[in-house]
Homo-oligomer: A and B are copies of this chain.
């Protein structure tokens, strides 16, 4: 089963915190809104600019991203938890 996000949305699978240290990133506890690591599972149908053209995504399927923890909408597919959020809410790609 597949989920195709609409517009500029992306589907991200959050990385569990115990695993997220692999890259050496630790999010400090004091942060008001904790960012969180995740893996891009699907990108949306595309944002449309003023001239009717689709704006390319800056992230692609498989990217490990840094995202706000409560910025998206949670969905559960085949038993796994995902987040659907707008690409503009993603902070950075980790590589």
Contact = CB atoms under 8 A, between A and B. Distances in A.
Interface centre among A5, A45, A65, A73 (most CB of B within 10 A): A73
A76 interface: yes
B55 A2 contact: no
Interface of A: 1-7, 9, 11, 23-28, 30-31, 33, 35, 44-45, 48-53, 55, 58-59, 65-66, 68, 73-79, 81, 84, 87-88, 90-95
**Total identical chains:** 7
Contacts of A55: 48, 52
Contact of A90 (B6, B74, B88): B6
A26 B53 CA distance: 34
